Amino acid sequence: MIRIRFQVRGVVQGVGFRPTVYRLAVERDLSGSAWNHAEGVTIEAQGAAELLADFERVLRQEIPLPARVQSVASEAMAAIPGESGFQILESGRGSDLRPVVPPDLAVCAACTAEVATPGERRYRYPFTNCTYCGPRYSIIARLPYDRPHTAMQAFPMCPGCAREYGDPRDRRFHAQPIACPVCGPRLLLRQPDGVSTAEGEAALQGAITALKAGQVVALKGLGGYQFLVDATSAEAVQRLRDRKHREAKPFAVMFPDLASLQAACDVGEAERVWLASPEAPILLLRRRGGGAVTEGVAPGNPNLGAFLPYTPLHRLLLAGVDRPLVCTSGNLSDEPMAFEDAEALARLGGLAEVFLTHDRPILRPVDDSVVRIDGDGPTLLRRARGFAPLAVPLGLDGPCVLALGAHQKNTIALLKGGELIMSQHLGDLTNVEGADLLARTVDDLLAFFGARPERLVCDLHPDYASTRLAEQLASEWGTSLVRVQHHHAHGAACAAEQGLKGPVLALTWDGTGLGSDGTLWGGEALRIEGPACERVGHLKPFPLPGGEAAVREPRRSACGLLWAVRGAGAPPPGLAPAFEGPDWALLQAMLAKNLQSPLTSSIGRLFDAVAALAGLQARRGYEGQAAMALEFAAGNRAEMPYPWEWKDGIADPAPLVEGILSDLAAGRDAAFLAARFHAALADLALVWARLGGLREVVLSGGCFQNARLTERVSARLADEGFRVHRHRLFPPNDGCISLGQAAVAAWRN
């Protein structure tokens, strides 16, 4: 008879870990106890040596999701004579609980079966959950994670739920959102003016009828309001586009089940695992030919953002409609997702015919996450539901740091005790609603984790809403403010995520960010070592006539690029149709006078220019559309790269532009140009990597959302012996900027 104490760290609180430990111990006839504490969970187990060895093996290797064991430390203890039974003790044991809260989790198989089985107590109950699934971060007001501190405090447990909640053998033991039809939340069907017309099952059936009729339904989901519409109806999809002012950007589609999803998309084994995971993200999948989903869901796009129902409510809706549904954020384009009832009715009342809502409050908005599975693993493109606010140990010791992120795809990050806590995806800060959400999220995150930042971090750009808020807070709190250049933050984010302090060469390619020289950067090769950053190479700058207008009109980037290469002149024949009346002459005059034509080294804007020259996209409907058109046109085609001209690490695209114009004159198609362009960018990466002279290379920036570009660059560098690192836990786009800002601030100690 021996006794061992196990110290377990990871995501092991609020996810059913202690009940699992209880079951494992009882199955092996072990005595002892388990309890939560500041660092995780402590277990003391006593019994036969071979049974304890098996218990430890399971702890280390086989604990089921959503628990995530990061480490298990063990030490022998003196056995306690006569001890019998295993028990779960109250949390704490003399120390404050570690501020770890699991994210919102997709409905588990057991709860799904319950909801689908006649005679079960929760048959067809849309708010069914247990310790292993359901709402978490979206409903908790403050720590500790107890029911009175959640949105469920208004729903006292009935005797049946209280019995399950208190039984360590039940999968609902200490499940704070526990509910049933007797005591839990209820569905409501409302008109756009807020008048309720049905409750419960009748409300559900009313929404199903509306969807079958092609109407737009505003659904109060897990982390906010969503718009649902029949994805097989071209008319219904176009109606939603018109109302959301979302001209062409792809919609995500939720399928009733895996079989219907596989009929529409190619799904590999890795994708199947992610679709069934507790995170249940939107996956970017290759579309199959034909299928029920109308082309207007993702026009001109070979991929589809596809996912499965992740709540019982979604499952009941999809089963009732029996067809795929567009499921997208409840907002107008560029606005944050609505999540409060009054706000949703006010902002969305003119966009949906009916509202399917409920009386469980959502305390913070949490959008759906987006993942793409590449040949070497997942790429997280939007980090929200299922991931936020999981703390990630990065070993960044030092003061408590609050980083306020970028202007687009904003997240904020809190560095506390060596761990990085990133907020959910907040979106763009281009309007008042976005700026307000940022300020609310800062207050919420600091209060939630009991943090007092000793250092604030923001971008160099003085006009970003995040910068202005950082300046305001630094003044109010008397806290030091660190400003980190945008692309330095990109490179630092990838380095920190991969555990690299440097020196590393960072290839940071994106749209635009204010550079330290006052120009707009975006095609950078940076040497990063701790807080130090040196510009090793960059794209030769070219002007953007109209500045921000060029972001919306790739034709302007093409005009500026041609001006930089050839000077004044007429547009090439392929580009001329993109300009009407005096447009070309006006842009040429702006360039000649250097009027509102900032210089940029942006590879994102180079993508735009090439897409316009190739005749693919003169104006864009959404960010990245032109670059995506080039990526899709290239497909898997292999062609010789366009050349560059080099001087002291500066890549002059003039030979590339001349090559494109020559190919166009020879009648080459857009696919040929796109393939050569991607090959040229792989060459660019290799030259800069050689110039940097460092084996470790990190890739970051929105351009590396391009799967073809990322694969070609990674392969080219790896073939030459470089060790290539890219984002896994965080997005390569501006969603990672807050992480990079926090890392730079921490490294300054």
Alpha helices, H only, 7-108: 17-27, 49-61
| CA pseudo-torsion sign 441, 447, 449, 455 | positive
| Same domain flag for 444 and 578 | no
Is residue 290 assigned to a domain?
yes
What is the structure's pLDDT at 452?
93
Phi then psi for residue 446, to 5 deg, are -65, -45
CA-to-CA dists, residue 363 to 150, 441, 443, angstroms: 9, 11, 13
Distance CA 247, CA 235 (A): 14
381 inside domain: no
Q: What is the pLDDT of residue 334?
A: 80
Distance (Å, whole) CA 678 – CA 698: 18
Which CATH number fits the domain that encloses residue 651? Answer: 3.30.420.40
Please give the Cα distance from 588 to 19 (Å, whole number): 70
Name the domain boundary from 68, 88, 108.
Answer: 88
Query: What's the pLDDT score for residue 96?
Result: 45
Q: Using CB atoms within 10 A of its CB, is residue 709 exposed (0-12), middle (13-18) or buried (19+)?
A: buried
How, if at all, do strands 354-358 and 217-220 pair? parallel
Residues 447 and 346 in one domain: no
Classify strands 480-484 and 455-459 as parallel, antiparallel or unpaired. parallel
Q: What is the pTM of this model?
A: 0.93
pLDDT at 98: 52
Q: Does 558 lie in the same domain as 468?
A: no
Predicted confidence at residue 95, as pLDDT, reads 44
The CATH number for 333's domain is 3.90.870.10
Considering the domain architecture, whether residues 404 and 439 belong to the same structural domain is answered as yes
Q: How far apart are CA 213 and CA 230, in angstroms?
A: 9
Claim to verify: residue 469 and residue 510 sit in the same structural domain: no
Q: Is residue 94 part of a domain?
A: no
> Are 417 and 456 part of one and the same domain?
yes
Q: Is 29 exposed, middle or buried (0-12, 13-18, 19+ CB in 10 A)?
A: exposed
**Which CATH number does the domain housing residue 74 bear?**
3.30.70.100
Mean pLDDT of residues grouped by 10 in the chain (749 residues)? Answer: 91 80 92 83 94 92 79 92 90 52 92 98 98 94 85 97 92 93 98 96 98 98 98 98 94 98 96 96 94 94 97 98 97 91 95 97 97 93 95 87 97 93 96 95 92 96 97 97 98 96 96 96 97 97 95 96 96 92 95 96 98 94 93 95 96 98 97 98 98 97 97 97 96 98 93
**Closest alpha carbon to 122 in 110, 138, 106:** 110
- Looking at the structure, do residues 475 and 515 belong to the same domain, yes or no? no
Q: Does 469 share its domain with 546?
A: no
* 627 inside domain: yes
Residues 324 and 411 in one domain: no
Residue 606 lies in a domain: yes
Q: Which pair of structure tokens corresponds to residue 713?
A: 């660059």
Q: Do 561 and 648 reside in the same domain of the chain?
A: yes
> Is 608 part of any domain?
yes
What is the total count of domains within the chain?
A: 4
Asked, for residue 687, whether it belongs to a domain, the answer is yes
Who contacts 484 (Cβ-Cβ below 8 Å, separation ≥6)? Answer: 457, 458, 459, 460, 492, 740, 741, 744, 745
In the 8-state DSSP scheme, what is residue 198?
E
CATH of the domain at 453: 3.30.420.360
Same domain for 589 and 468, yes or no, is: no
Q: Are residues 638 and 553 in the same domain?
A: yes
Q: Tell me, what amino acid is at 524?
A: E
Q: Which domain holds residue 245?
A: 213-358
Q: Helix or strand or coil: residue 173?
A: coil
3-class secondary structure per residue, 232-292: CCHHHHHHHHHHHCCCCCCCEEECCCHHHHHHHECCCHHHHHHHCCCCCCEEEEEECCCCC
The DSSP annotation for 609-650 comes to HHHHHTTS-SS-SSTTHHHHHHHHHHTT---PPPP-EEETTE
- How far is C-alpha 615 from the chain's CA centre? 31
Place of tokens 């969807």: 211
pLDDT tens readout for residues 534-582: 999 999 999 999 999 999 999 999 999 999 999 999 999 989 999 989 9
Q: Is residue 698 part of a domain?
A: yes
Nearest Cα residue to 460 out of 516, 511, 506, 386: 516
